[in-house]
Structure 1
Amino acid sequence: MQPGPRREIPLIHLLPNAMTLGAICAGVSAIRMAYSGDFERSVALLILAALLDGLDGRIARILKSESLMGAELDSLADVVNFGVAPAVVLYFWAMDGDQTLGWIAALVYVVCCTLRLARFNVGAKEGTLDKRFFTGVPAPAGAMLALAPLFLAQAAPQITIHPTPVAIWIAIVGCLMISRLPTLSLKLRVPARHARPLLLVVAGGAAALAAYPWAALLGADILYMLSIPFASFARRRIAH
């Protein structure tokens, strides 16, 4: 019996999965950098992982190379990059001296992130997701919120950060991820007249990130927290 023809795929169709694997490498490397005490590079790697996470799915759709394997890889990468990595980075940074409470808080955060991702995957498969809003804080945003104490310490070195508030904070962020609160999605439509002001805000944010990275990251976290009540109001308004 003659074997069937071998299936070939364009090399460029491997790019999205390669980006996802690169994001995993960035997240795991962030843990290594945190263990070495290099928290600036650790945060930079987590931001890189978030950027790759935001691009891999979009590129897969552009190339029409979506696959079940890619979807599973993306979900596993999110657990590593936005669940395990931020919790371990914060543990090494602030909570290593408070091992019991700090480690419990880190585990609570990781478990909440995992549950949030599982809920999202189930909703995606069942087609019950509201694409205009997320339910609970999404994993990448949760990771950036969890790192807010580190951003604050770097932006204002004169402030002393104690382990216990950090532990409480990341547990709160974990609860926000598994909550039923609506949060903004980039797929939410805005009036065309607001497009230019929004682009100016994005450009200003990018400039601030380049000039004052820690203050800009902390400011982004504050703005995101303020957006949560707005998302609840917007969702109720759309529903009526």
Structure 2
Amino acid sequence: MSRPPNPIDGTKSVYATFAYVLRWWRESRGLSQDALAKELYMARSTIQAYEAQEYEPDDEFAEKLDKYFGTGKLFYYLWYHSQREYLLQKWDAYLKLEPQCLQFRSFHPNAVPGLFQTEDYMRASFTAGNLPEAEIEKGVETRLRRQELLCRPEPPLFWVVIDEAVLLRPVGGAAAMRAQLAHLLEVMDLPHVALQVVPLSAGAYLGQDGYFVMLHLPERTVVYEETGTDGRLFYDPKVVHERHVRHDRIRLKALPEEATRDLISGIMKGV
């Protein structure tokens, strides 16, 4: 006997209300998740993820539901207002999506990407935030665990761009930074990693003021951005497209991979 699905509390957010209404209409028609998925030409796991709020709906899915259930623009309007809630999305939501990723596209103007950091670099970065020792250890442990993505079978593809200023900042001291730079060179040897650096000589360029990462998931692409105090997770296709264009334009300012390797090696010798 299968367990009943977990209840959905629609008071938590518009996304939760969307999930509640989706389940209500599905069950009112006597449809299983598998049956509805077949009607909409998608995987059952996708319907399950929407109802569990592991995926957040997009406008295309909302319009499919409205058409199928004959609900006018009910689902579309729920989706529309849910877009105002992206500010509430935090790091934990990103961490749930990261292991599902098929491709990463990211830009880092202030620090070495967490997935490419050495333990000493991580520890120095967390320590600089004046965090309690327990939180520092937890942060290091979590980041090291996330790095398993790099060496798992069939790992994601990584398209990563870093600003040269990141490489010049001796986080953790000279020895720690030399080790970090050496580690970046090792990471570049991985066949699924493409790493480029935007040189200081590029001057000002679009996007240099903010870190972002695009996660290309099996069913969609999302964007995560981070400021000094908060994180934002975007599901809006328009935002995703704009960041994709921004990443491409930043890469045009970056050095080719071999020149990037030479630059990192030269900086490492001078640290």
Considering fraction of residues, name the structure with more helix.
1
The two structures have a TM-score, normalised by structure 1, of 0.23
The two structures have a TM-score, normalised by structure 2, of 0.21
Considering fraction of residues, name the structure with more strand.
2
